Amino acid sequence: MHETPAPPVRRGGGGTARKRLTADDWADAALAALAERGLAGVAVEPLAARLGTTKGSFYWHFANRDALVAAALARWEEMSTERIIRAMEAAEPDPAARLGALLHGATAMASENPLEVRLLAAGDHPEVAAALARVTERRVGYLAHLFELLGFPPADARHRGLLAYTSYLGHAQLAHATPSAVPTDPAYLDAVMETLLRP
């Protein structure tokens, strides 16, 4: 649905400011709630309170909670995968440097933000499962492409891409489940890269 002005938003001190909420605002709030409390945390009334608005604003953009979950997952796909791949393609011509930047950057981000771990835990939800499958294939495929650019045969490149991705996911899981088990020395990820690039 097209963007429509939201109801007035109350600010501190009794003043009133009008804020135009978009579907992306709601999707971002849903992702934040999902990161904090899992899929069960995505509920309309608490999100409206978080955004400083009412449920009426929600229904300008979404028919129901399922539509919001779908929009949040699409937003996650775009921001955490497609946008990052485009940025890497534009900024770094060397595939080995791209691999290193992706491994370091994505691992650090996942260690700080539990969103991806929460999504993996909600993998029995059909919409989440479908999004995870798309994102996994896209990410592993992109990593495999980088390994191919480095001269590895397609099958080997695919295996290395999968190994790189599972290393990232394992690191993210441990960072939230047992943080003391996760190495904090950046040299650890450098060693992972050396292993991945070894002939």
Q: Which residues are CB-contacts of 79 (< 8 A; sequence separation ≥ 6)?
A: none
pLDDT of residue 10: 39
Instruction: Compute the C-alpha angle 163/167/169, nearest 5°.
Output: 115
pLDDT given for residue 14 in this prediction: 44
| H-run or E-run covering 17 | strand 16-18
What six digits make up the tokens of 197?
């690039």
DSSP string, 34-63: HHHH-GGG--HHHHHHHHTS-HHHHHHH-S
Whole-number pLDDT of residue 16:
46
Q: Burial letters for 30-67: b for 16+ Cβ neighbours within 10 Å, e otherwise?
A: bbbbbbeeebeebebeebbeebbbbeebbebbbeeeee
pLDDT of residue 36: 96
User: How high is the pLDDT of residue 15?
Assistant: 44
**Residues 16 and 10 sit within 8 Å (Cβ to Cβ):** yes
The pLDDT score that the predictor gives to residue 17 is: 52
* 148 DSSP β-pair partners: none
Please name each of the domains of the chain with its CATH number: 8-65 (1.10.10), 92-197 (no CATH)
Mean pLDDT by 10 residues, the chain (199 residues): 35 51 96 96 96 93 96 97 96 95 92 95 97 98 98 98 96 93 87 94
